């Protein structure tokens, strides 16, 4: 299979679901960003329903959830909530859903802890992030916009459950009598959990494998020396043993078949971006100066923070390979150049 096959050309309407496999239903929730939606999944589980991912903890999302409860559960109740990772569009209603239905949250340890940290003021200390962005060449106007944006996480994830059921690599979660294997993949989030059901040939890929866009892989101010792109690319190889005709249920975009073709395209995309980054470093340049090299469009403030992170992820990858060096000038700005 050399291209992607999308069995459904359109997503479900708000507040409704589409059946994508026996006992698996697809719903979609809005996001107030350029990426304007997230896909969520309902898995029949005996007399109940397991929810995979939750949407943002905002009133319009919860109103759509109430429509789902009233019209799409067939008299069943929610019996478990699984979060693939801690990002707000996946985790935002974890506290609300588990409290409303009196059920447990299931997620990995790294994602639960990241959510708890992100809800605190320490997670986005303005001085830490301002220094980080300034050090990498972001100008005063954009710095002011980023400072005003601040830590938006608590507004999108109002509550985090006090306890959770820990998922670990290789765990097999039985849902409606079928085994779903937990695949912990890295780079996009601390311990992102994808779910693979061999019996159904279905992969719930979360954000790790998306059909059109690429997963954000970023350097953040509290972990400036990480190499998340290496982790992400290594994690993509974890999906190679799965059948290429597996039905992939991604968090954004349309469900698809053609897993191996998409893995090839993702690897080629990052190889191209790494080559472009290296090619732009004949002379010393800041991360901010490289943003137009990798992002050939106008970016809003939300996108800018991710763009800086992605550029730095590519630079750290090249630095770890010995292809790039960097130095801090007398002005306190870090500049990179080809080794």
Domain residue ranges in the chain? 18-123+149-276
119 phi, psi to nearest 5 deg: -80, -5
How much is the pTM? Answer: 0.96
Question: Can you give the pLDDT at residue 126?
Answer: 79
Question: Can you give the pLDDT at residue 252?
Answer: 98
Distance set, CA 296 to CA 290, 291, 293, 299, 307 (Å): 11, 8, 7, 9, 11
Strand partners, 19: 25
CA distance 213 to 216: 9
Question: Can you give the pLDDT at residue 2?
Answer: 56
What contacts 19, CB < 8 A, 6 or more positions away? 25, 26
Cβ distance 257 to 242 under 8 Å?
no
Cβ distance 208 to 215 under 8 Å?
yes
Alpha helices for the chain (secondary structure H) = 59-71, 88-91, 94-101, 109-118, 126-135, 140-149, 153-156, 228-236, 259-279, 287-294, 301-320
Chain centre distance of CA 224: 19
Chain centre distance of CA 336: 27
Cβ distance 143 to 134 under 8 Å?
yes
CA distance 218 to 262: 21
Helix axes 301-320, 287-294, angle to 10 degrees: 100
Note the maximum CA span of the chain.
Answer: 67
Question: Can you give the pLDDT at residue 1?
Answer: 44
Question: How open is the CA angle 127-214-199, to the nearest 5 degrees?
Answer: 120
Pick the CATH number of 18-123+149-276 from 3.20.20.60, 3.60.15.10, 3.30.43.10, 3.40.50.620: 3.60.15.10
Question: How open is the CA angle 5-91-15, to the nearest 5 degrees?
Answer: 60
Q: pLDDT under 50 in the chain at which residues?
A: 1
CB atoms inside a 10 Å sphere around CB 296: 7
Helix axes 140-149, 301-320, angle to 10 degrees: 110
Question: Can you give the pLDDT at residue 150?
Answer: 73
**What are the structure tokens assigned to 79, written together?**
């019996």
Cβ distance 14 to 64 under 8 Å?
yes
> Shortest CA distance to 317 belongs to which of 208, 231, 235, 244?
231
Query: Is the four-CA dihedral 51, 92, 173, 206 of positive or negative sign?
Result: positive
- The count of C-alpha atoms lying within 13 angstroms of the C-alpha of 169, restricted to the half-sphere facing its C-beta, is 8
């Amino acid at each position: 299979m050399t291209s992607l096959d999308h069995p459904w050309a359109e997503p479900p309407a708000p507040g409704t679901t589409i059946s994508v496999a026996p006992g698996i239903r697809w719903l979609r929730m809005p996001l107030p960003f350029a990426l304007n939606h997230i896909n969520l999944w309902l898995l029949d589980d005996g007399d109940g329903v397991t929810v995979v991912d939750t949407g943002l903890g905002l009133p319009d999302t919860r109103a759509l959830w109430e429509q789902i409860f009233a019209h799409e559960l067939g008299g069943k109740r929610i019996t478990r909530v699984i979060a693939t990772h801690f990002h707000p569009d996946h985790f935002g209603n974890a506290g609300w859903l588990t409290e409303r239905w009196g059920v447990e949250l299931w997620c990995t340890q790294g994602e639960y802890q990241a959510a708890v940290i992100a809800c605190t003021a320490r997670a986005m200390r303005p001085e830490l992030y301002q220094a980080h962005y300034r050090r990498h060449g972001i100008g005063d106007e954009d710095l002011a916009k980023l400072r005003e944006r601040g830590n938006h996480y608590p507004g999108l994830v109002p509550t985090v459950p006090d306890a959770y059921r820990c998922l670990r690599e290789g765990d097999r979660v039985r849902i409606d009598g079928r085994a779903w294997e937990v695949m912990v993949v890295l780079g996009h989030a601390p311990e992102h959990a994808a779910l693979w059901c061999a019996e159904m040939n279905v992969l719930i890929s979360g954000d790790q494998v998306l059909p059109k866009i690429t997963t954000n892989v970023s350097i953040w101010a509290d972990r400036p020396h990480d190499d998340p792109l290496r982790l992400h690319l290594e994690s993509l190889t974890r999906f190679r043993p799965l059948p290429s005709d597996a039905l992939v249920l991604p968090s954004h975009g349309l469900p698809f078949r053609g897993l191996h073709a998409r893995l090839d395209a993702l690897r080629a995309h990052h190889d191209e971006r790494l080559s472009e980054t290296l090619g732009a470093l004949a002379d010393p340049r800041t991360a901010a100066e490289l943003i137009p090299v990798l992002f050939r469009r106008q970016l809003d403030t939300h996108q800018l923070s991710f763009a800086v992170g992605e550029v730095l992820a590519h630079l750290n990858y090249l630095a770890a390979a010995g292809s790039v060096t960097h130095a801090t000038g007398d002005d306190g700005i870090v500049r990179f150049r080809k080794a």
